[in-house]
Structure 1
Amino acid sequence: MAEKKLNGQLNELVATWSVLYTKLHNYHWYVNGPSFFTLHTKFEELYNEVTINLDDIAERILSKGGKPVATLKEHLELSLIEEATGKESTEEMVESTLADFQTIMKALKKAMETAGEAGDDRTEDLLNATFQSLEKHAWMLNAYLGN
């Protein structure tokens, strides 16, 4: 039972990473203003990291005999976050990215608990490493916003 639940949670993460990847590209391309150079580079760094997270989790699903969701339709249906509107201000881009990271961190915690229940230490370790990276990014984005 925990194994099936974990597969569903991992697929939610795959979908969410996919939407976030596109969203961060949107922000990378459309950020402007005095923080352009800083945020243009930061959004690129983040979408490159998201690519690794997406691939790692999808491959983990495959290695466990599951099937990761792999269409844009599935990603949009299962994602825990919304895609960009294309109308965000620079500050809203940072706030949205931070909120998305916090949403993903909650999902990672739940999936780690489920992996623990299933005795799947390797998945739990993978998710924990991802959580720690997001935690650091969230701290930096909060600092950028003056929080």
Structure 2
Amino acid sequence: MHMDTGISADDRAKIVESLSTVLADAYMLYLKTHNFHWNVTGPMFSALHVMFEQQYTEQWTALDDIAERIRALGHFAPATYKRYAELSNITEEPEVLSAKEMIRQLVDGNEILTRTLRAGVKVADELDDFPTADMLTTRMEVHEKNAWMLRSFLEQGAGAKQGDASSD
């Protein structure tokens, strides 16, 4: 069926290409966060277990929003682990990590996703797709906040000074 929402078919395809990478990164981060929720151990177990659950629960809802935006643009959303692995900039962890390494991995994952989201906003803005740009901007705020909250666990007790870039 013909679609005429003011964005050409070629431009919708460019937006969907960007959104597909966002979806893949978001799914891989969700999966990693859920994995770490199940497998975290150590003295920070309780706090991390709860925080990881809060993050993956929020991420799960966002996955649906991203996939549905792809559908609203007239394309099918990627939906297999194989395709996510091909598209994603975030890799899976084959083994159980220490709590500190889990935190580092999630900081990195949130930052990778934030960069992917930022690139997607640029594509959407250039092609006048304001709903996509708005959704991705909102997601950036969430993942920047998640990275900050996770980073605070790594700075705890390390004698990091406020504004000290070496503690990042």
TM-score by length of 1: 0.94
1:18 paired to 2:14: no
1:113 is aligned to 2:115: no
> What residue in structure 2 maps to residue 141 of structure 1?
150
Deviation of the 1:78 alpha carbon: 1.1
CA distance in 2, matches of 1:17, 1:128: 14
Q: Distance in 1 between matches of 2:13 and 2:72?
A: 14
Structure 1, 75-84 or 116-125: larger mean CA deviation? 75-84
* C-alpha RMSD over aligned residues: 1.2
Deviation at 1:3, TM superposition (A): 3.1
Quote how far apart the aligned CAs of 1:22 are: 1.7
What pairs up with 1:25-64 in 2 under 5 angstroms? 25-64=34-73
Segment of structure 1 superposing worse, 69-78 or 96-105: 69-78
Distance 1:109 1:23 in 2: 21
Contact 1:16 1:80 in 2 (8 A): yes
Higher RCO, Cα 8 Å, sep 6+? 1
Q: Which consecutive aligned stretches of 4+ in structure 1 deviate over 4 angstroms post-superposition?
A: none
Normalised by the length of structure 2, the TM-score is 0.83
Higher mean Cα deviation, 64-73 or 89-98? 64-73
| Equivalent pairs, count | 147
Structure with a larger share of its residues in helix: 1
Deviation per CA, 1:41-87, whole angstroms, max 9, x where unpaired?
11111111111121110000001111110111111111110012223
1:88 partner SS: coil
CA contact (8 A) 1:13 1:107 kept: yes
Contact 1:2 1:115 in 2 (8 A): no
